[in-house]
Structure 1
Amino acid sequence: MQTTVFVGTSVDGFIARPDGRFDFLRSDGGEAENHGGFEDFFATVDALLMGRNTYEVVLAMGGWFYRDKPVFVLSHHGLKPAPAEARVEPIHGTVSEALDQLQARGFKHVYVDGGNVIHQALREHRVNRIVRTQVPVLIGEGISLFGPLGFDQKLELVSTKVLPGGAVQSEYRVVSGAAAPASA
C-alpha cells in the first residue's frame, strides 16, 4: 500500500501555529486552488488517515475538503460529529496497526495527515512519499512538521518546482531500509 504525506509548511518548517491553525498556508496563493497540485494528488488517494487534532481543526474551518473520500481518524476518544456529506470513521491503535487495517480493507493509496500521525508514520517506517509545499512566510513558532525519529531517514528528491506566489514544492521518495541511527 502506498502512503503519502502531502503537506504545506512555513519556510521555518511549521505545519501549524501553536493553536493548530494553518491560515498562513493560503497567504500567498501558493496553496490555493490547484496551484500546489492538491486536487491532482487528492484524485490519486482512496482514503485519508489523520489524527483527532487535525480532524477538529478541519471541522472548525467550516467546510469539508475531503468530499466523499473515507477519512479515518486515529483517536482513543470520541469524535465530534462530521458534516452530513463526510465519510468519517474512528480507528484505533498505532499508525502501523491503522494502516494494516486499511490495507486489509483494500485501500491502495492513503494520504497521511496531521503532525502527530505523520511523526508516528515516519517513526514506524510507514511513509513512502513526502510532498512538501513551503510557502514564503516565517511564523516563528508552531507545530513542527518533523519530530524526533531516533534515526536518520534517507530521502530521494523526485522533483522541485516553484509555484505561483513563490511557494516551493518538493517531492521525495522515502528510501526503504536506509534508516540509520541518528548521530549523537
Structure 2
Amino acid sequence: MTNYVYIATSLDGFIATSDGGLDWLEEIPNPEQSDYGYAKFMKSIDAIVMGRKTFDKVLTFGQWVYPKPVFVLSNSLTKLPEKVFGKAEILRGDIKKIINHLNQKGYTNLYIDGGRVIQSFLQEDLVDEMIITRVPILLGKGV
C-alpha cells in the first residue's frame, strides 16, 4: 500500500491562485509539451482520494479528467452529479478506516489530492511519497 501526493507548485510556493484557480498550470510556456511526469504517475496508481473542494474544482473542468476511480472525502456531500456516476464515490469517516477499506477493495496505490485532505493524511502519517513539481512561474500570492 502506497499513498502518494502529487502536486505542482509555483516558484514562490503556491499550488493555486488566491481564489483556488489552477489556470496558471496551462498558461506557462511549455515548448516540450511536458506533463512533468503526470501521465506516467497516473498509470502507476489505482485510485484517487480527494477532498470536496478539489472535487468541486474538478467539476468545473467541463469534462471528467480521471481515468481511475475517484473517492471524494466529504462529511457534507450527500449526492454526486449524474455525470460522475460510476466514476466517483463519496466516502466519510476515519481516514485510516477509509484507507483500509480501499486497500481491501484492491486499491493499494492511492493518489491523495486536495489541500485539506493532504494535510489530514500528513497529520496521520499516511503519506508515503510526495512528488512536488516546481513550475517556472511566479504567482505572487495564492494558496
Structure 2 equivalent of residue 167 of structure 1: none
Unmatched 5+ stretches in structure 1: 144-184
Contact 2:8/2:132 (8 A) holds in 1: yes
SS class of match (2:56): helix
Q: Which has the larger radius of gyration?
A: 1
Q: How many residues align?
A: 141
Scaled by the length of structure 2, the TM-score of the pair is 0.88
- Determine helix, strand or coil for the equivalent of 1:138: coil
- Taking only aligned residues, the RMSD between alpha carbons, in angstroms, comes to 2.0
Contact kept, 8 Å, 1:64 with 1:86, in 2: the verdict is no
Question: Aligned residues: percent identity?
Answer: 38
Cα distance change on mapping 1:61 and 1:74 into 2, 3 Å: same
> How many Å apart are 1:142 and its aligned residue?
1.7
Match of 2:113 in 1: 113
Q: Deviations over 1:107-139 (max 9, x none)?
A: 110000011111111111001111111111121
Write 1 or 2 for the structure with the bigger share of strand.
Answer: 1
Q: 1:85 to 1:34 in 2, by over 3 A?
A: farther
- Cα gap change, 1:61 to 1:33, in 2 (>3 Å): farther
Q: What is the deviation of 1:35?
A: 2.9
One-letter code aligned to 1:131: I
How is 1:16-165 mapped onto 2 (pairs within 5 angstroms)?
16-29=16-29, 34-67=34-67, 69-78=68-77, 79-81=79-81, 83-84=83-84, 87-143=87-143
Structure 2 gap ranges (5+)? none
Paired residue for 1:151? none
AA paired with 2:75?
H
CA drift of 1:17 comes to: 1.4
How far apart, CA to CA, are the structure 2 residues paired with 1:82 and 1:54? 18
SS at match of 1:43: helix
More helix by share: 2
Distance 1:125 1:83, change over 3 A: same
